[in-house]
Chain A
Amino acid sequence: MKWDEFFVTGEPMIYGAMASIVLASLAIVVGLTYFKKWGYLWREWLTTVDHKKIGIMYIIAALLMLFRGGMDGLLMRAQLAVPENGLLDAQHYNEIFTTHGLIMILFMAMPFVIGLMNVVVPLQIGARDVAFPRLNAVSFWLFFAGAMLLNISFVIGGSPDAGWTAYFPLASIELSPTVGNNYYSIALQIAGIGTLLTSVNFLVTILKMRAPGMKLMRMPMFTWSVLITNVIILFAFPVLTVSLALMMFDRMFGAQFFTMANGGMDMLWANLFWVWGHPEVYIVILPAFGIYSEIISTFSRKNLYGYKSMVYSMVVISLLSFLVWAHHFYTMGHGVTVNGFFSISTMAIAVPTGVKIFNWLFTLRKGKIEFTTPMLYSLAFIPIFTIGGVTGVMLAMASADYQYHNTMFLVAHFHYVLIPGTVFAVLAGFYYWFPKMFGFRLNDRQGKRAFWLIAVSFNVTFLPLFFLGLKGMTRRTYTYSAETGFGPLNMIASIGAIGLALGFVYLVYNIYWSFRYAKRDTTNDPWDARTLEWSIPSPVPEYNFALIPKVNGLDPFWESKKTGQPLTEGEYEEIHMPNNSGQPFILGMIFMAFGFCMVFSWWVPSIIFGIGIVIMLAVRSFERDHGRHISVKEIRETEQRLRGEQS
């Protein structure tokens, strides 16, 4: 293989990207060396098994990916801003919309959600840790390995270019001969294994490690949403595992699953992909519902309206999410009966979702509403998401879908669902739980400014796309002529995209400013909140709860504040904690090397790294690490220090 086949060449933008990757890596290496932070990085972060730190790493990675994916989005909007634009060529455009979708869904939305879930869920259920702390670190490093693999693809070998759905035969080796779709199959596979392990981990955590008295029907709504989400992950991700493996066999070993000859069936890919892909939508949306439930109830100073119906509607949504996959390809030639079934099951999802919307509205009713930044995101979510939902029902009608399938209407619809649904939610959750992670609040005034910039620009960007779609502008076209009349609306959308980008930059400035200057919280409960995580010091000590709380009902912390009944009783005892370990990080790196060699079909190094993976598993199995104990004295000192008490 020649160097110019290995590296992507020939475009100034790519050279710019290469240079910036090298410079950024150098800056990190030099910076860490100069400030002597290598040891700190290794001891405190790379080897950590603490669920809160793992959660923070997920969130940092997700924010980075937000900017990577956002850059793709900006480039697309730049290309489409005016007719006949020559900024990007068709191949580059294909790669960009593919990676935009992949990164935003799989390496931004999911890890952000998983990050919050890591930070919050054990705290909400009164647990000291997740069920399998070491496995949790493995999950993170596998996700990280997958994300890095996909990200280097655009300078080394070329990115996947067949859309994030990678439909066959477009994604086959004949029609997509670069290694791009090899990256797709392998990077997603590695990250997907990590996600599956996360789901096992959190299911066991939630089912078995709740504080005494916390029955299932007393769990906070966010924990409920995470429980249901993880059930979906457990049953959806193996389908992705199989699909990606079959894709790999087709592309790299000449198998005939999705070919056009020798019995292959390209529609099999579409079905398999969406059997995973549709539930995936709910994997990123249900936790968002959980986050909104927490925030709306906290800042309305009221119990969540219709707790039980919230839970049941999530269960119904999760079941229906597996029954609607074919609505993604009504026009690909299944008959009227099949389309009818999927049309009706799709529309049915609007019912439980509507129940939830009304529950949030009734929670707000007569509440003492406080307009904090997280609350603004939650309030903005309701109307914007409803537009997304209504257009979703429009798309759900199979017969009408023949008109607007594959147009910008669809693009507008799912951005209207996913951005207020997931992005607003994770940002709201980030602002809301930030003091629990770091011990101080993000500046609220700056947060609100960022919110308005993001919320308004979002509508300016995506509302025009509905009309462009109805006018017939198809998605994934990389340019259009002036006669189509698509120019002005596209220009408006592109201007909105700039505003959106500025909003996110301002949000990062907000984080930076607050780290430097914000006042440190001493209350541990800055929002006057309701659930258990606010009863312990912030930032949370590694053992979470010095004494395990006893739960007598919903919103135990709120009840305890109201009635004066203490949550905990008894004396401190020694706490058993797991040791840090470098193995998960090393395993992740070996996986990354393995995946990289597989992408280029370098079999010998692939086999060597594959054996390395097996060796790492064996090392773990033979190791006897019984963790360590935190002494009562240490607990007492930590608690006094964090609660600001004098000893």
Chain B
Amino acid sequence: MKLDNTLPLEYQSEENSNRILGFWLFLGAEIVLFSTLFAVYLTLWTRTGNGPDAKEIFELGPVLIETFVLLTSSFTCGLAIHSMRLGLKKPAMVFFSITLLLGLVFLGVEITEFVTYVNEGATLQTSAFLSSLFVLLGTHGLHVFMGLLWGGGLMLQIRREGFTLETSNKSFIFSLYWHFLDVVWIFIFSFVYLKGLM
């Protein structure tokens, strides 16, 4: 195997750099996926039928918590990758743990929020606005959930093997994914919540 030692570990083999490019392309597809969901939401968000509109159900409190938690988790994820580059396994593990923990908190708050909506009579079935809201937020939430499973499995592998060509590559790709979720959330925060509350 040809290795290029001038590059960080996660890029060194040809397979590794192919995987990273492949994942960037996959993120391109993910951008289209979320753009479509945003387009659907922005088409339907005023079409509330007999159901409540955005202003009636949105609350700033939990959304700010979600935003703060997810943005911080992205930061700690970056710190984990930084530790990895420095070859520090233990701090990397700690930062990954914090990342996943914050992700879990995010998911918890989001689920509570969904339960509140449903209790207020705002369900997926109520109106086109709510259908698009739940599917957009739900798709993002599902991505976070998958990220938690992925990150958990990844940490087991790092604990067992340390940072090898394979695990460092996977960690880096995981971090791309996690930052991407953060970016999507910023759009959700701006175009769903802020727009809805204004």
Interface residues of A (CB under 8 A from B): 131-132, 196, 199-201, 203-204, 207-209, 234-235, 237-239, 241-243, 245-246, 249-250, 253-257, 259, 261-265, 268, 272, 275, 576, 614, 618, 621-622, 624
> Which listed residue (B21, B47, B128, B153) contacts A621, Cβ 8 A?
B153
Listed from nearest, the 3 A-B pairs whose CB atoms lie closest are A263-B47, A263-B128, A262-B49
Given the known inter-chain contacts A200-B22, A242-B36, A621-B157, please indicate yes or no for A255 contacting B47, CB distance below 8 A. no
B163 at the interface (CB under 8 A from A): no
Cα distance, A204 to B24, chains bound together (Å): 10
**Additional A-B contact list (7), CB under 8 Å, known A246-B40, A254-B125, A622-B156:** A234-B25, A238-B29, A239-B32, A245-B135, A254-B124, A257-B44, A262-B49
B124 touches A257 (CB 8 A): no
> Which listed residue (B1, B48, B131, B153) contacts A249, Cβ 8 A?
B131
Cα distance, A163 to B18, chains bound together (Å): 40
Residues of B within 8 A of A275 (CB): 36
B131 touches A272 (CB 8 A): no
B30 at the interface (CB under 8 A from A): yes
B25 touches A272 (CB 8 A): no
A131 touches B135 (CB 8 A): no
A238 touches B135 (CB 8 A): no
B125 touches A256 (CB 8 A): yes
B112 at the interface (CB under 8 A from A): no
Question: How close is A244's CB to chain B, nearest CB, in angstroms?
Answer: 11
Residues of A within 8 A of B32 (CB): 234-235, 238-239
Residues of A within 8 A of B125 (CB): 253-256
> Which listed residue (A200, A249, A255) contacts B25, Cβ 8 A?
A200
Interface residues on B, range: 35 or more
Residues of A within 8 A of B64 (CB): none
> Restricting to B23-37, which residues have a CB under 8 Å from any CB of A?
25-26, 28-30, 32-33, 36-37
Question: How close is A484's CB to chain B, nearest CB, in angstroms?
Answer: 40
> Restricting to B144-177, which residues have a CB under 8 Å from any CB of A?
149-150, 153-154, 156-157, 166, 170
Cα distance, A207 to B135, chains bound together (Å): 35
Cα distance, A272 to B32, chains bound together (Å): 12
B116 at the interface (CB under 8 A from A): no
Residues of A within 8 A of B47 (CB): 263-265
Q: Render B33-77 as a binary contact track against A, CB cut-off 8 A, 1 for contact.
A: 100110010011001111100000000000000000000000000
> Which listed residue (B18, B37, B128, B156) contacts A262, Cβ 8 A?
B128
A to B CB contacts below 8 Å, 15 in the list: A131-B18, A132-B18, A203-B25, A208-B14, A234-B28, A234-B29, A249-B135, A253-B124, A256-B125, A256-B131, A263-B127, A263-B129, A272-B40, A621-B157, A622-B156
Cα distance, A618 to B156, chains bound together (Å): 11
B126 at the interface (CB under 8 A from A): yes
Cα distance, A622 to B156, chains bound together (Å): 9
A207 touches B29 (CB 8 A): no
Residues of B within 8 A of A255 (CB): 124-125, 131, 134-135
Cα distance, A253 to B14, chains bound together (Å): 45
Residues of B within 8 A of A238 (CB): 29-30, 32-33, 36
B99 at the interface (CB under 8 A from A): no
B28 touches A265 (CB 8 A): no
> Restricting to B113-127, which residues have a CB under 8 Å from any CB of A?
124-127
For B124, give the chain A residue with the smallest CB separation.
A255
A264 touches B40 (CB 8 A): no
A622 touches B128 (CB 8 A): no
For A208, give the chain B residue with the smallest CB separation.
B18
Given the known inter-chain contacts A131-B22, A204-B21, A208-B21, please indicate yes or no for A265 contacting B43, CB distance below 8 A. yes
Cα distance, A196 to B28, chains bound together (Å): 11
Residues of A within 8 A of B129 (CB): 263
B1 touches A256 (CB 8 A): no
B22 touches A201 (CB 8 A): yes
For A135, give the chain B residue with the smallest CB separation.
B22
Residues of B within 8 A of A235 (CB): 28-29, 32
Residues of A within 8 A of B49 (CB): 256, 261-264
> Which listed residue (B149, B153, B166) contacts A624, Cβ 8 A?
B166
B18 touches A204 (CB 8 A): yes
> Which listed residue (A208, A259, A265) contacts B17, Cβ 8 A?
A208
Cα distance, A250 to B132, chains bound together (Å): 11
Cα distance, A204 to B22, chains bound together (Å): 6
A207 touches B21 (CB 8 A): yes
Residues of B within 8 A of A196 (CB): 29
Cα distance, A131 to B25, chains bound together (Å): 13
Cα distance, A242 to B149, chains bound together (Å): 23
Given the known inter-chain contacts A249-B124, A263-B48, please indicate yes or no for A241 contacting B33, CB distance below 8 A. yes
A132 touches B132 (CB 8 A): no
Cα distance, A254 to B25, chains bound together (Å): 34
